[in-house]
Amino acid sequence: MQRDVLITDLVDDLLIDGLAKAGYNVVYNKDIAQPEVDATIQNYTGIVVTTKIGLTAGNIRDAVKLKWIARAGSGMDHVDVNAAAQKGIACICSPEGNAGSVGEHCVAMLLSILRRVPEANAATRAFTWQTDEYRVTELEGMTIGILGYGHTGPAFARRLQGFGVDAIAYDKYKTGFNDAFAKSVTLNELFERSDALSVHLPLTTETRRMIDTDFINRFKKDIYFVNTSRGNIAAVGVLLDALNAGKIKRAAVDVLDNENFETLSDDDKRLYASLLNHPHLLITPHVAGKSSSTRRRHASVLLAKILDRPEL
């Protein structure tokens, strides 16, 4: 039986060639748009997606031949995994592929807000040589809280070694996972001890809006905040209020609730503008996991996981 696979975005040749060698008929259409996927999904036994293509329950109902969905990256919040599970469709992703890149980005962002790199850079470019104004906070001696300890959380903790920090981590679904990089703690201990919080959670019905005002106010100290996971875990308005109140001293985020600015309402544009122009915010455009090496690593991880399932 012919096994047709649709690849919907740019991937490394390793994945294309590997699937072809394994006997799949690969349709590589990196420029395909959602309507064309909707219209043709019934033709495929496998599909490789990134965040630009969503797969709803309707898509999965129409996908009469589909045996597997592969996500080149971490998180499958744009795929109805429950509908897929009900049809016995395997869902595969590759969070291992960019964990190291995300970990590095978290360190860079945390150091940047502690050492006030963006502000000092902007001020100096404006021909002001200010020194006393930019006295900084050192990372050494801080307690860094890590929320979620799956793939990117440990990668971040490993890269903190050498800075002289005390790294602690809470994961609702893992206990006693002490390693050489972070100590497993309860959520209450995380609130009690953290000087900074870095978020490493998938977006699920449980984690959506998890970090609200009450959550932030449970921290004993005013904290530094880093989020490279998903924007919908901590809403824009919540971050803005916490920054204005000083409960978050400085924030560094790589993600937002809505990253398609063209779809924002006028009210949302005003809200987003207030956050994006906040002097204590550092933001990057969802690039933490996008290094020059991650595309090939994602391809390698996905290929291995697919080929390890001969029933697919």
pLDDT tens for residues 143-164?
999 999 999 999 999 999 999 9
- 34-44 exposure pattern, b = at least 16 Cβ within 10 A, e = fewer: eeebbebbeeb
Give me the pLDDT at residue 153, please.
97
pLDDT over 80 at 1, yes or no? no
Q: Do domains 4-97+293-307 and 99-283 have the same CATH topology?
A: yes
Give the CA count within 13 Å in the CB-facing half-sphere of 194. 33
- Output the six-digit token pair for 165: 């920090």
pLDDT tens for residues 117-137?
999 999 999 999 998 888 899
pLDDT tens for residues 246-291?
999 999 999 999 999 999 999 999 999 999 999 999 999 999 999 9
pLDDT tens for residues 153-204?
999 999 999 999 999 999 999 988 889 999 999 999 999 999 999 999 999 9
Domain residue spans of the chain: 4-97+293-307, 99-283
Length of the chain (residues): 312
Give me the pLDDT at residue 230, please.
96
Give me the pLDDT at residue 292, please.
87
Task: Give the separation between CA 49 and CA 56, rounded to whole angstroms.
Answer: 13
What is the distance in angstroms between the CA of the first residue and the CA of the last residue of the chain?
Answer: 12
pLDDT over 90 at 32, yes or no? yes
Yes or no: say if 71 and 91 are a contact pair by the CB < 8 Å rule. Answer: yes
Q: Kindly report the CA angle at 307 between 302 and 309, in degrees rounded to 5? A: 105
Class of domain 4-97+293-307: alpha beta
Query: In this structure, which topology does domain 99-283 adopt according to CATH?
Result: Rossmann fold (3.40.50)
